[in-house]
Structure 1
Amino acid sequence: MLRVHFTAEDFTRVRFAPRPSPVPELHAALMMLGAPHEELLFGRWRGRLLRALPGAAEPLADLVPGGAAPYFLDVLGETREEGLALIRSARPELVRSELERVYAGQGAAPPWIRGLHRGDAAAWRVLEGAQRAAYETVLAPVWPLVQDLHRAEFTRHALTVAERGLGAALTALGAARLHDGLWEWPGSPPRDVHLSGRGLVLLPTFHWRGAPLVQDLPDRPVVLTYPAGGGLPLDPTPLSGDDPLAGVLGRTRADLLRSLTEPRTTTELARRLGVSPATASAHAQALRAAGLLTTTRTGRSVHHAPTPLGELLSHR
């Protein structure tokens, strides 16, 4: 099983990634694309994407000749461009050693991989072009949905930490258990990860369905990417004009919550939403009961403002 060893300092340096990271999510999706398991649920998804992938994305398969990717691809970054820049900034000695590791016993490497080993600019352009092509086909159509799912996941853990503490949030992930500074994930391949004061970043993925993926590089916080979501392939179809928050709260209440970029009176809300003050007041009361906004009275004026949870849910 996966065993993550904490020091006392590490418990103060655990954080949940506040936003999804495009490059790790793309790599998780590509791993799921090549995984043979869960064919019943993911077979049609794989078939659709494999037919749609352009030829420009094919070089990515050369990076995993034995099924293991080189570690210099393990980056975060809150945008695709930032993630690609982090990959490109990898130390040349790390790129060389990792390419040698994944190709050990795998036969001759393709010419562009050998160019990447030498640090050729043309080879880096091949890699970047392949990443961009794969992103546009695999991830871009569902990225708004990934953002919404991540926001809900982050909110859930933030509430758990606030109400029950960090230990409860850690043990709520999968079937993990925590005891004596040791965080264990039963069912994962055997591996010991020592944080040694570097801290831990927890990043959900909504594509990968296997054991947690671990980025463990020297002098960096360890990043543990864990499977989240409903366990089904992400479907881009509902994203055309659909609003997941409106599906939960209703269109008017979702619009009301998003309009609270600053405290507003009931009359101002009614004007912005195109409803009567009585209707705006009723919707505000429902959101207040759900803990999504607060209402304060100053003289004869009533002002509504979002709670921290309301801000998390309404941010797009």
Structure 2
Amino acid sequence: MLRIHFTAADFARVRFAPRPAPLQELNTALMTMCRPDHDLLFDRWRRRLLRALPAAAEPLADLVPGGRAPQFLDVFHADLTEALDSARTWRPALVRAEIERVHAPHPGPAPQWVRALHRGDADAWRLLRRAQQAAFETALRPVWPVVQDLHQAEFTRQALTVAEHGTAAALTALVPGSRLHEGVWEVAAPRVGDLHLRGRGLVLQPTFHWTGHPLVAEPPDGPAFLTYPAGPGLPLAPSGAAGTDEALAEVLGRTRRDILLLLADEHTTSGLARRLGVSNATASAHAAALRGAGLVSTVRAGRAVLHRRTALGGLLVRRHPRPAPDMPAQQTSPHPSGDLDAALRRPRPTPPAPP
């Protein structure tokens, strides 16, 4: 449990970031890429991004041994060029302290370029800048217009909430299960402790590549930042991409997408197999995977097994309320882990994540 302590001045200085932060959005995208959960929805996106990241981005992994990142990677500038340059504005003593903090628990010397960064070497700073730029261009540039549109909608929604119900109501609605009592905002998070704002204020930064707990950053100067998940819970697709059904096919695979469409009404396993042109065993395996993600429910009725999509599954296909028409026989889509070996043949170091 994280407890964020507000003074009266802090409440007056709570604000929502008016624009997305490119490097913080990159941090959350890389965090999601490294998470072991949500495989059904994110596995293909993760493997695609791992394969696509260029060698120029690999130095980022050297800064995050064991998943701990130095705070100077938490950058909230809305302009990418300013964001890429901002880490160098940190005081050298703080940069050295952060590098030592994240590398101290790990035996052996840090990579040579990180040691150079510790000394303040200009070439090392340029290497870090190129790594961040390369990762952004690969991971986020194709979907950045989508991020901007989602951010604008979220900003407008939160502005209306504050106007209608006040700041306190907006804060508690922002993080489900959180509680605001006597100037202390209690937020469920792995980090246990207290954050005293002491008049600095708090900036609320939505992110659209993270579905986990809120992330807190404390830059050495200025307000604290709380990054919270505000996205649709699916990997973002570029503007102008195929419709919702095709986007789901990219995430889930076509067979599982088609099963979700069919299960607006109950179907037996054999009924699904007939409609999809696959074997009973294949239909059962795909239904089990969807059930494990909470998208499908299954009940037994005598000797039959009946499947139906859940409310969560319905949300994912909300533009398609009717069952899909009969579909021609087709080859079953590969299992999401089918090309995992190819990804492993190009191993990448674990990319960075905010602390």
TM over 0.5: yes
Q: How is 1:68-217 mapped onto 2 (pairs within 5 angstroms)?
A: 68-107=68-107, 108-175=109-176, 176-217=178-219
Partners of 1:114 and 1:123 in 2: CA distance: 9
Identity across the alignment (%): 64
Partner in structure 2 of residue 228 of structure 1: 230
> Gaps (5+ residues) in structure 2?
244-355
TM-score by length of 2: 0.66
Partner in structure 2 of residue 303 of structure 1: none
* CA positional deviation for 1:234: 1.0
Partners of 1:148 and 1:106 in 2: CA distance: 41
For the aligned residues, what is the CA RMSD?
A: 1.7
Q: Deviation per CA, 1:238-274: give whole Å up to 9, x if none.
A: x13899xxxxxxxxxxxxxxxxxxxxxxxxxxxxxxx
* CA positional deviation for 1:123: 0.8
SS of equivalent residue, structure 1 residue 172? helix
* CA positional deviation for 1:174: 2.3
By relative contact order (CA 8 Å, sep 6+), the higher-ranking structure is: 2
SS of equivalent residue, structure 2 residue 195? strand
8 Å CA contact 2:210, 2:231 repeated in 1: no
Partner in structure 2 of residue 22 of structure 1: 22
Deviation beyond 3 Å, 4+ runs, structure 1? none
* CA positional deviation for 1:116: 0.5
Q: Deviation per CA, 1:157-200: give whole Å up to 9, x if none.
A: 10011111111111111212211101111354313111011000
8 Å CA contact 1:14, 1:200 repeated in 2: yes
Aligned length: 242
Q: Deviation per CA, 1:36-66: give whole Å up to 9, x if none.
A: 2212211111000001010000110001002
8 Å CA contact 2:189, 2:214 repeated in 1: no
Partners of 1:187 and 1:132 in 2: CA distance: 30
Partners of 1:188 and 1:109 in 2: CA distance: 27
> Gaps (5+ residues) in structure 1?
244-316
